[in-house]
Amino acid sequence: MIVVEKIAALRQQLTVLRDERSHENQPAAVGLVPTMGYLHEGHASLMRKAKEQSDIVVLSIFVNPIQFGPNEDLDKYPRDAERDLALAEKLGVDVVFLPSVSEMYPQPTKTKVKVEEVTTRLCGASRPGHFDGVTTVVTKLFNIIQPQKAFFGMKDAQQVAVIQQMVLDLNMPVDIVPCPIVREEDGLAMSSRNVYLSAENRQAALVLSQSLFAVDEWVQSGEMKTVGQLRDRIVEQIAGVPTAEIDYVDILTFPGLTEMASDEQLRNWKGKAIIALAVKFGATRLIDNRIL
């Protein structure tokens, strides 16, 4: 496994690997797994999928400062490069790109990539500027690495929708591969931020997945007939946990992320919808979702 910290070195290594792994006049396909590190089984699932679908797997590890707000956890965001590299090597990653902030942003960036509409709700509403930072750094990574496929976890479903919209609008020659949420045995969605949770809040956070997976029973029993009733029931269940502080509970179309009328009949809905949650437990903000 090759570990590089400089953009020029990464491009050089990829040129060599593409030449080595091209076959029958077919260029080698590069799969990119962009992460902020502190890897867990959710990230591992992305690397495995990339390994299945690519000739060369590139893992990027970069805690991107321009997607964090002034009062967010940039400085405290968990980091463990040694552990991350060991896992990447075990999973057969070919190249790990581990740049510094000064390598990615040698001067304050005067260019931002901005996606509208799909960024205005959910995390986009409560974290202004967050998705501008995400789309800008992902565009930089696509330009540097030039992958044929990029693998993103559906735990941040809004991020997937935003990146897909960006790629579509800007005719970027990369396929976005959404990958399923990976959960702990008790249902909690895996997240690098889970390490922040106290034992009490770790147990309390289970209300997120429990609420999402109770939806089938509520709808099939006829107890919940409309979008508004379902949202209210989820809010009620989460708010019943004393340490839970709700940021949002929304039910939207997917991937367009447009509002559904509160009187929309659930049984008549023909498209995809997403139930998206963001809730703080103590100082730790967790997100989860379910596509219906």
Binding-site annotation, residues for (R)-pantoate: 67, 159
Residue listed under structure tokens 């976005």: 176
23 in catalytic set: no
Binding positions for ATP = 36-43, 153-156, 182, 190-193
Q: Is the dihedral of CA 246, 185, 35, 199 positive or negative?
A: positive
Angle at 177 between CA 172 and CA 95, to 5 degrees: 80
Looking at 4, 35, 43, 97, which residue is catalytic?
A: 43
For residue 23, count other CB atoms closer than 10 A to its CB.
9
Give the neighbor-by-neighbor strand order of the sheet with 56-61: 2-4, 95-97, 56-61, 30-35, 149-153, 175-179
CA gap 115, 171 in Å, rounded: 14
Binding positions = 36-43, 67, 153-156, 159, 182, 190-193
- Cα–Cα distances in angstroms (integers) from residue 115 to residues 136, 145, 167, in the given order: 10, 21, 10
Whether the bond between 78 and the residue before it is cis, its omega within 30 degrees of 0, is no
Catalytically annotated residues: 43
